[in-house]
Amino acid sequence: MAVPSCTASLRSFECRTDPDFSGRFPRPEIPTSGASRFSCKAGGGSASRGLSVHGLSSSLIYRFPPNFVRQLSTKARRNCSNIGVAQIVAASWSNKELDNTPSPPAVKAVDAAAAASFVAPVAENVTGVEEDVAAVVDSVLGENVQPEDLTDDVGYSSFLTSRGSMAIHAGERLGRGIASDAITTPVFNTSAYFFKKTQELIDFKEKRHVSYEYGRYGNYTTEVLEQKMSALEGAESTLFVASGMCASTCLMWALVPAGGHIVTTTDCYRKTRIFIEKILIPKMGVKATVIDPADVGALEAALSRNDVTLFFTESPTNPFLRCVDIELVSKLCHDKGALVVVDGTFASPINQQALSLGADLVIHSATKYLAGHNDVLAGCISGPTKLVSVVRDMHHILGGTLNPNAAYLIIRGMKTLECRVQQQNRTASRMAEILEAHPKVSRVYYPGLASHPEHELAKKQMTGFGGVVSFEVDGDLHRTIKFVDNLKIPYIAPSFGGVESIVDQPAIMSYWDLSQADRAKYGILDNLVRFSFGVESFEDLKRDILQALDTI
């Protein structure tokens, strides 16, 4: 492929020919007249490819004037970041065979202009080439440099039935608004977007032109990710933000008014509870009712006695993997005018689709299963456009924007989401059974076990039970520490859902600032272990856990 490059001189540009070992093409006679003419030098011997009277040979390597490169790079920047548009145009010239195969009109125009430039003064050459470059770039990429609509209904459900397939193709091969023929989505590292004319800006402001304005309000890489997540969750819209906690707090700021009432569960991510207790209640005058995840009666009582705005729950919960009857609580809440938000991080959209069960919104810490490689922080909210838009407006004010590089990492990670989650499901299910039967384990929390209090509910609303198993070692804090420290494979770290196995002791990792008695109020005993299974070999993980138990 011919690649354009700048020459050092503004007075001329040149092409050199590659050697032709077949001797098929005679060297053409090219008229020259001093430095003001365009020269063609043979390279690599006397037998070399040259020029056709109808255009340029496919073997020529062209060197274009600076204005040519500037014109191309400007168009390339507007359309698709660093796609390499110059190579596309150069290929249109250089890849044309020397037979009589008709060329596209735009390419013919450029060929004709290039042929004419052989006998034209340099000043005229530069102007003509610029005009023809503009015509070719517009022909290849389109005059509109920004996607007109990134939210078309691309109809994934009409031919993709697997969520694994959607995780690979949604937002990219299907319905991508980015002008690129790359398989992978480009990363748009930009803080702002420009408008060609003031009228285009006015059209944007009055919603006649689709674009972005500032990096906090959107990014084309992130838009692809949001489309992908919407397809997985069956949602109209998705918003990605900088972390899972950012998703939770931004959602509550947006949807719970001052003086409103929120219902949540006893078992949940600790920082979510802290935000409700230390921010919403004292600073916003919000009232909160905390119930057991399975206590439907307590939910009904809270709904009947209070003007509840929002029921916020995890399912499964952290760290005891309790399950909420999403279909039932959604009906109860909707009858009273309350919204239902489900944090589905522990399930992932592969194992559970909360929206189809009746929830209004579903959120995820994308740091976990979605990204899947323990290398990025992100969170997302999915649901109907009318609700997600309210949260999005709040997000535009608060910030917490997802970096486009992080968006790219999540897009890449999601392409293996189904493979990873299914492997983690299998490993966790088998290890939960082994742990439950082990004499040095006093209790196991996993919704895939018949002993779990919501096992039947989990079977009803989940297609897999996840890769996290919590269990209590038969011993005290120090005996449990010994078990954790003797594990060879998992990292001691505060996360889950990645390809690497992770283990932590919640009493130390998340609740160490509380006294033992205060930890016990939340059910966090000193011997509790939360084990997130990665995608390592089941046999390796089994041997590692059993040998660590043997040491205590």
Q: Could you count the other beta carbons within 10 Å of the beta carbon of residue 451?
A: 11
Q: Say which residues have a Cβ less than 8 Å from residue 332's Cβ, sequence separation at least 6.
A: 296, 299, 300, 303
pLDDT of residue 217: 94
Tell how far CA 511 is from the center of its chain: 31
**CA–CA gap between residue 541 and residue 265 (Å, rounded):** 32
Residue 43 CB neighbours (<10 A): 11
Contact call for residues 253 and 277 (beta carbons, < 8 A): no
The beta-carbon contacts of 454-463 under 8 Å, at least 24 apart in sequence, are: 454/293, 454/294, 454/322, 454/323, 457/323, 457/325, 458/316, 458/323, 461/323, 461/325, 461/326, 461/327, 461/352, 461/357, 462/323, 462/347, 462/351, 462/352, 463/350, 463/351, 463/352
What is each CA distance from 95 to 101, 304, 409, 456, 541, in whole angstroms?
Answer: 12, 74, 35, 63, 54
If you count them, how many residues does the chain have? 552
| 386-424 pLDDT per residue, tens | 999 999 999 999 999 999 999 999 999 999 999 999 999
User: What are the angstrom distances between the C-alpha of 246 and each of 239, 272, 360, 498?
Assistant: 11, 10, 19, 20
Beta-bridge partners for 265: 291
Model pTM score: 0.71
- The pLDDT of residue 321 is 97
Q: What is the pLDDT of residue 315?
A: 97
pLDDT tens for each residue of the chain, 552 residues long: 444 444 343 344 344 444 443 444 344 444 444 443 333 434 444 333 333 334 344 344 444 444 444 444 444 444 444 444 344 334 444 444 434 444 443 333 333 433 333 333 333 343 443 444 344 334 433 333 334 343 444 455 567 778 888 888 887 765 566 667 888 999 999 999 999 999 999 999 999 998 899 999 999 999 999 999 999 999 999 999 999 999 999 999 999 999 999 999 999 999 999 999 999 999 999 999 999 999 999 999 999 999 999 999 999 999 999 999 999 999 999 999 999 999 999 999 999 999 999 999 999 999 999 999 999 999 999 999 999 999 999 999 999 999 999 999 999 999 999 999 999 999 999 999 999 999 999 999 999 999 999 999 999 999 999 999 999 999 999 999 999 999 999 999 999 999 999 999 999 999 999 999 999 989 999 999 999 999 999 999 999 999 999 999
Distance between alpha carbon 547 and the CA centroid of its chain, in Å? 38
Quote the DSSP letter at residue 246.
Answer: H
Quickly tell me which residue has 């290039």 as its tokens: 114
* Nearest Cα residue to 479 out of 451, 501, 500, 507: 507
Which residues sit opposite 64 in a β-bridge? 6
CA distance 344 to 73: 44
Phi/psi class of residue 139: alpha, beta or left (left: φ > 0; alpha: ψ in -120 to 50)? alpha
SS3 522: coil
Extended strands (E) in 417-547:
441-445, 468-473, 491-492, 502-504, 528-532
Residue-wise pLDDT tens digits, 270-311:
999 999 999 999 999 999 999 999 999 999 999 999 999 999
Beta bridge partners of 492: 503
Catalytic residue numbers read 216, 269, 343, 368
Alpha carbon distance 129, 86 (integer Å): 13
